[in-house]
């Protein structure tokens, strides 16, 4: 079983952890218009997928703002933010924070995404949410960068992510 930490305590994750070189599993998530979206919607693009537990937390919001900044620097890439928030909350936050360069997707209809990506928090106060993770997928959906943030309350390593985007 895979683990991350939440405030220093071990938290088990459901599913198998993905690694660089793996083909990213397809998914069905919900966009802000309540439409189903799959990985195929971004076919042929390099994708940066930032998975956050909830945009209503300061760390998740801060990392999403950073992704928005990176998206401005890399307009040819698809920047995708995945959270358990309802699309209505995602829209409110997106509008309020002027986040214009991101695709927001919700796990509201299913936790299958989090499980197939090895990120589903199985137990504890955050059970049912996804652990924090950043992935870069090439045009053929192969994982070329992955960071499962070991402490849920911490931000990802932006320097490492940016280095992977420059390659």
- The DSSP annotation for the chain comes to -EEEEETTEEEEEESPPP-TTSBPPP-EEE-TTS-EEEGGGGTTS-EEEEE-S-TTSHHHHHHHHHHHHHHHH-TTSEEEEEESS-HHHHHHHHHHHT--S-EEEE-TT-SHHHHHTT-EE-SSTTTTSBPPEEEEE-TTSBEEEEEE-SBTTSPP-HHHHHHHHH-
Catalytic positions: 60
pLDDT band for position 157 (cuts 50, 70, 90):
very high
pLDDT at 98: 94
Q: Which domains does the chain have, with CATH numbers?
A: 2-166 (3.40.30.10)
Mean pLDDT of 64-84: 97
Question: Span 115-143, mean pLDDT?
Answer: 96
Task: Decide if pLDDT at 115 tops 70.
Answer: yes
Determine the pLDDT at residue 50.
98
Residue 1 scores a pLDDT above 70: no
**What is the band of 145 on the pLDDT scale with cuts at 50, 70, 90?**
very high
Question: Tell me, what's the pLDDT at 167?
Answer: 82
Q: Please determine, for residue 24, whether its predicted confidence score (pLDDT) is greater than 80.
A: yes
- pLDDT for 15 equals 87
Query: Residue 149's pLDDT is what?
Result: 97
162 pLDDT higher than 90: yes
């Amino acid at each position: 079983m895979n683990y991350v930490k939440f405030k220093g305590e071990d938290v088990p994750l459901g599913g198998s952890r993905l690694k660089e070189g793996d083909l990213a599993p397809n998914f069905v998530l919900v966009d802000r218009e309540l439409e189903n979206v799959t990985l195929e919607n971004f076919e042929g693009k390099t994708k940066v997928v930032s998975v956050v537990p909830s945009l209503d937390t300061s760390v998740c919001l801060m990392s999403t703002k950073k992704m928005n900044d990176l998206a401005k620097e890399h307009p040819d890439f698809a920047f995708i933010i995945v959270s358990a928030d309802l699309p209505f909350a995602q829209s409110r936050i997106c509008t309020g924070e002027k986040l214009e360069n991101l695709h927001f997707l919700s796990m509201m209809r299913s936790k299958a995404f989090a499980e197939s990506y090895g990120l589903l928090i199985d137990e504890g106060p955050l059970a049912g949410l996804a652990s924090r993770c950043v992935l870069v997928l090439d045009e053929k959906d192969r994982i070329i960068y992955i960071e499962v943030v070991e402490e849920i309350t911490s931000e990802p390593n932006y320097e490492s992510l940016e280095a992977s985007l420059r390659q």
